[in-house]
Amino acid sequence: MNASLSAPGLRPVSPSSAHPFIGRILEHPTSTARGGVPGILLVQGKPGALPPGFRAYLLEEASSDVGVSDAYVLPPGFHPLAEGDVVRVEPSNRRLSVLYRRASPSNSLLVTERCDNYCLMCSQPPRKQDDSWLLDELLELIPLISPETRELGITGGEPGLLGEGLLRLVDRLKTHLPETAVHLLSNGRRFSREDFAQGLGRLRHPDLMVGVPLYSDLPEEHDHVVQARGAYDETLRGILNLKRAGVRVELRVVIHALTSERLPELARFIARNLLFVDHVALMGLELMGFAKTNLPKLWVDPLDYQEPLRASVRILDRAGVSTSLYNHPLCVLPADLHAFARKSISDWKNVYFRECEGCSLREACGGFFASSALKRSRGIAAVPP
Ligand code: SF4
């Protein structure tokens, strides 16, 4: 979930529930609920008498006499809601959070904020508290999600820490959303247990990919980046076990000052030893969380790693490994790499800057993370037609 889609300032205007609850937004009193759960009616404009039978009511404008329970005025300036979105209402601390946006191509299910790595550039630094309630909420959420959703991410923290709970989650996705591709981001370490990897494989999800970060061909360098001794061995065993269990695996390499120089060696290592992976994503840095804190240690201008990047893509491509470049504006890439660049930044954090005005590549270019306002390449410049 995007933190900016969670806001305080929800104002009850009728008796409210004691506990948090989730529900699917309905824009019309005649809309039907999903998953056997009454929906939450979104009331636009001045509310008249509200129809009974909904779990709650979210009002754009205040009213003193609504005649139903759980009616709330939306927090000021809240992101627009629409039919089919799913929200969490927390009456006691007056917070509203959007858990799923039907119109967005980039919905993710955050399953835990705990992690057994402590990566130097983690965009969502781990927290230690017990957040096992998140799994229960997600199991409740999945039946409310629209079945035409093309893709959902599973993210953390480290989802593998959920153990059997993660398998339950994937199983529920398969049951309720069989047409939806699932991309699970994991450091892969828990899958070093063969039975766990086999358990995931046995679910036979029709469209599941596990994205696993690998930062170096050298164990000590990978372990340094993820700040966990022994992580490299477990991650590699996890990758092997997942593939043995028939699960598709994508390798993800975040490029920064500590990983850019040996990128070609890593590409060679993948081409020789992990040729069976399904995809490799070479990714630009998102300046959030620890990446922001460690910026002086991590920052390297993409212009300055063009050559190792080009060499790595060539090695992987020649070996027949499907390869993509994520989070790289086109103007900082050599032209021969443009075909590998993807529009990879989630819609809610994707921006273009003033330099992009009039750029002939604007349509094809994936632009920036909003956090790139902090620092960006000296090579950003509109490409003339
Ligand atoms: S100027 Fe902007 S739109 Fe054009 S290639 Fe660079 S980042 Fe992309």
% of the chain surpassing 90 pLDDT: 84
Q: How many CB atoms lie within 10 A of CB 6?
A: 18
Residue 168 structure tokens:
């339950």
Q: Which residues of 60-74 are buried (b: 16+ CB within 10 A; e: fewer)?
A: eeebeebebebbbbb
Residue 45 structure tokens:
């404009």
User: Per-residue pLDDT tens for 68-96?
Assistant: 999 999 998 787 899 999 999 999 999 99
Cα three-residue angle 65-70-74, rounded to 5 degrees: 85
Residue 165's nearest CA partner among 116, 231, 109, 123 is 109
pLDDT at 110 over 50: yes
- Is the shortest distance between the CB of 248 and ligand 1 below 6 Å? no
Ligand 1 pocket, mutate which of 360, 361, 372, 378 (most atoms under 8 A from CB)? 361
- Is the shortest distance between the CB of 359 and ligand 1 below 6 Å? yes
Domains annotated on the chain, with CATH: 3-99 (3.50.30), 107-346 (3.20.20.70)
C-alpha pair distances (Å), 319 with each of 214, 277, 313, 323: 18, 12, 10, 10
| 378-385: average pLDDT | 94
User: Per-residue pLDDT tens for 317-353?
Assistant: 999 999 999 999 999 999 999 999 999 888 878 899 9
C-alpha pair distances (Å), 247 with each of 209, 236, 278, 307, 330: 7, 14, 10, 33, 32
Q: At what angle do helices 263-273 and 306-318 cross, to 10 degrees?
A: 10
Distance 355 CA to ligand 1 centre (A): 7
Identify the band that residue 36 occupies on the pLDDT scale cut at 50, 70 and 90.
low
Residue 197's nearest CA partner among 227, 232, 230, 235 is 235
| 154-173: average pLDDT | 97
| 285-306: average pLDDT | 96
- Is the shortest distance between the CB of 343 and ligand 1 below 6 Å? no
- Is the shortest distance between the CB of 333 and ligand 1 below 6 Å? no
pLDDT at 4 over 50: no
Q: What local confidence, expressed as pLDDT, does residue 33 receive? A: 64
Q: Whose CA is nearest to atom 2 of ligand 1?
A: 356
Q: How crowded is the C-beta side of 269, counted as CA atoms within 13 Å?
A: 14
Sequence-ordered list of residues with C-beta below 8 angstroms from that of 307, at least 6 positions apart, any chain? none
Q: What local confidence, expressed as pLDDT, does residue 37 receive? A: 73
Residue 362 structure tokens:
């604007």
| 38-50: average pLDDT | 87
Distance 285 CA to ligand 1 centre (A): 17
- Is the shortest distance between the CB of 331 and ligand 1 below 6 Å? yes
Q: What local confidence, expressed as pLDDT, does residue 62 receive? A: 85
Distance 374 CA to ligand 1 centre (A): 17
CA distance 273 to 129: 38
Identify the band that residue 288 occupies on the pLDDT scale cut at 50, 70 and 90.
very high
CA distance 136 to 117: 24
pLDDT at 202 over 60: yes
| 239-267: average pLDDT | 98
Q: What local confidence, expressed as pLDDT, does residue 29 receive? A: 82
pLDDT at 283 over 90: yes
| 27-38: average pLDDT | 74
Distance 365 CA to ligand 1 centre (A): 6
Q: What's the pTM?
A: 0.93
- Is the shortest distance between the CB of 356 and ligand 1 below 6 Å? yes
